[in-house]
Amino acid sequence: MEYETPRFLDCGEAALSVEFGDSVDPAINGRVLALDERLRASAPAGLRETTPTYRALFLRYEPLEISRDALKAAIEGLLRPGEQAPASRPAVRWTIPCCYDAEFAEDIGEAAGLLGRSAQSLAQLHASADYRAYMYGFAPGWCYLGGLSDALAIPRRTSPRGLTPRGATLIGGALSLIAANPMPTGWYVIGRTPERMFALDRDPPFLIAPGDAVRFEPIDPETFRMLDARALAGETVARRETLE
Amino acid sequence: MSARLLVDAAGPGVTIQDQGRFGLSRYGVTPAGPMDVGAYLAATRAASADSAIEVSLGGAAFRAEGATLCVAIAGGDFDIRLDGRILPAACLFPLAPEARLILRAGASGAWCYVAIGGTLDLAPILGSRATHGRSGLGPKPLAAGDALPLAEAAPPPLEPLALTAPWLASSDAPLRLLLGPQDDYFAPQEIEAFLNVRWRIGARSDRMAYRLEGPAIRHLRGHDIVSDGVAMGAIQIPGDGAPLALMADRQPTGGYPKIATVIGADLARLAQLRPGQDLSFCAVDWSEAVAARRDYFAAIEAGPKREPLSAEVTTESLLAENLVGGVVNAKD
């Protein structure tokens, strides 16, 4: 649910959370990203960094340079009540190649079993949805996606599984996720992309921006290996298109 | 030969830290950086260094090669020996080639910073030389046999000096915190209990989080929130009710309610607590937190006092000092 007016929550004396709602929702996330964009365009002195998340903008600031009240006033001046948040409509869409073959989707059989469907129908449902990149979190390049089919909502594991493969595509709760570097996780690995979600030697190191639209394109193991080699050589194998 | 610092020994969790990797939290990048910023700044400013080695309770040993290096140390009350000679826990000295510098956990404190004057010849990763072990960003944790080349070495002092920095003093006073951002997930009596309990730092504490052992804190309305940003010092209450104070290597976002956040001026005191040590909290308001922050950083800005070591620094004189320290740290 979107709040009528945003809440300002202290996270210590040097950080503030501006919270627009209490759910994962494109309109709420749109308000977060719109404020983020405006603050980045004209940052008040003393504001150090902004971190957009699903429903709140996290602001790190130096209170010896700007008081909380002055920061709040600056933010309130940037919020236009009742407006249609422009950033809730994605400006960019990424098509991410993803291999759902069991060789690359270590947990797809387990997840399909828990959901009472075949691995093939799980892959089909996952690849046919339109996703929104809400935020990054957990580790560099771990990009959280909303838009997962309700039929694929799955409780997270009670204890984490081992390291994910690089580029793992996962599901957990009502969300999907593209992972970068290997990490332990409570989610299920249902595919893998050859794209590098995070590459230190690439400019920019991160491809997808919060707010972007994301689709998956199923690929077979042979195509995975071919694209993986090209990605390793520095090529971007995901496709980017600008939306009207 | 170009100047290098050789690592003769390093316990677990000895890493290179600078102020941190900022500006990329929106992509899931944790800033990392020092656990104790005040001690880090004392050491790096005294030595004119752009980064420091953060030494954990496991200790470490170093040697210089190719030049006499300018070294400053500050942090917890570590046992520091230069060729067997005991140095004060905060000090600035020349490290001559082949002299042995050995740091061991001392009377109190969990971290200490060894700053080498000049610039380490280490390429920054995403703008920083800080190690973030969990994501693999930055240099690997240091191990015996490593060598750190210097691109540029600062001139060493002529003789060892003691650094006096009041902000490094340990104290038993409750750690001050600001309630929130999710204190409304807890009933007033749970917040009261949280503030009135003496907590103990759990054994499984590290640069990512300190576990607080004590009674379970119950949530008023569930333990899941929609994930949001996390500040250093945030105290998160997961499903089992056992608080976690999130430290320098924390995840950039989290999905458990955060009952309170330790204020900036007291983060170093929290960081320097060891597993098994007790602590308590008291709530302050934003203005008090900012006033404390102003005093803390003003003292750091003024810098540590440098005083010559009396030639006869002996085990006895240090023991006498430790006796005084021992009263302050009676619970160690």
Nearest to A207 by CA among B22, B28, B135, B27: B27
* pLDDT at position A6: 96
pLDDT in tens, B189-239: 999 999 999 999 999 999 999 999 999 999 998 888 999 999 999 999 998
- Please give the residue range of the domain that contains residue A24: 2-87
Nearest to B14 by CA among B23, B1, B5, B26: B5
CA distance B218 to chain A (A): 20
Choose one of A39, A66, A87: the last residue of a domain.
A87
CA distance B24 to chain A (A): 8
* pLDDT at position A82: 59
Which among B137, B226, B264 has the least Cβ separation from residue A14?
B264
Q: What's the rounded Cα separation, in Å, for the pair B321 and B304? A: 19
Domain check: are A83 and A96 in the same one? no
Domain extents for chain B? 4-165+305-327, 175-297
Interface A–B counts its CB contacts (< 8 A) at 129
Domain check: are A132 and A223 in the same one? yes
Average pLDDT, chain A: 94
- Neighbouring C-beta atoms of residue A182, cutoff 10 Å: 15
Domain check: are A9 and A61 in the same one? yes
Our measurement of the distance from residue B254's CA atom to the centroid of its chain's CA atoms, rounded to an integer in Å, reads 22
Which among B228, B261, B293 has the least Cβ separation from residue A58?
B228
Domain check: are A100 and A178 in the same one? yes
Domain check: are A136 and A71 in the same one? no
Choose one of A87, A109, A140: the last residue of a domain.
A87
| ipTM for the predicted complex | 0.94
- The CATH number covering residue A174 comes to 2.40.100.10
Domain check: are A76 and A99 in the same one? no
Domain check: are A107 and A153 in the same one? yes
- The Cα-based distances of B309 to A3, A149, B46, B112, B113 in angstroms read 62, 70, 16, 20, 20
CATH class of B175-297: mainly beta
Domain check: are A182 and A237 in the same one? yes
Torsion, Cα of B106, B199, B328, B45 (10° steps): 60
The answer to whether residues B36 and B210 touch, using CB atoms and an 8 Å cutoff, is no
Strand partners, B119: B152
* pLDDT at position B169: 81
- CA geometry: angle B306, B309, B310, nearest 5 deg: 140
Domain check: are A147 and A104 in the same one? yes
* pLDDT at position B310: 72
Domain check: are A134 and A206 in the same one? yes
Mean pLDDT, range B45-63, rounded to an integer: 97
pLDDT band at B326 (very low <50, low <70, confident <90, very high): very low
Mean pLDDT by 10 residues, chain A (244 residues): 94 98 94 95 96 98 98 92 65 97 96 97 98 96 97 90 94 95 93 96 92 97 98 94 90
Choose one of A72, A87, A102: the last residue of a domain.
A87
Mean pLDDT, range B108-129, rounded to an integer: 96
Its pTM stands at 0.93
- The CATH number covering residue A74 comes to 3.30.1360.40
The answer to whether residues B138 and B129 touch, using CB atoms and an 8 Å cutoff, is yes
Domain check: are A120 and A231 in the same one? yes
Which among B22, B134, B286 has the least Cβ separation from residue A49?
B22
The answer to whether residues A39 and A75 touch, using CB atoms and an 8 Å cutoff, is yes
CA distance B291 to chain A (A): 9
DSSP state of A154: B
